[in-house]
Amino acid sequence: MKNIKILGGGCSNCNKLEILTKEVLDENSIPFEINHIKDLSEIMSYGVMKTPVLIVDEKVIISGRVPSKKELIKRLIK
């Protein structure tokens, strides 16, 4: 099971990243748990400067942008 975190205050890009991530994982039958972290102090604890951020199993995968679906598939399906 993948442990997924989306870091971001709830802006449209943060929400888009969460929806796209869920879509890719569902389409590929990958079990996951996802948390959308909106608390600024918790976001800052990861040392990132721009949101949205995608974290998989406590590793920052994407920061500061919403990737294409194709890129997200490559990064999530290993």
Mean pLDDT of 32-43: 95
Structure confidence by residue, pLDDT tens digits, 5-27: 999 998 999 999 999 999 999 99
- Give the helix/strand (H/E) hosting 1: none
pLDDT of residue 10: 87
Q: Tell me the whole-structure pTM to 2 decimals.
A: 0.92
Q: How many helices (H) and strands (E) does the chain have?
A: 3, 4
Dist CA 16 CA 21 (whole Å) = 8
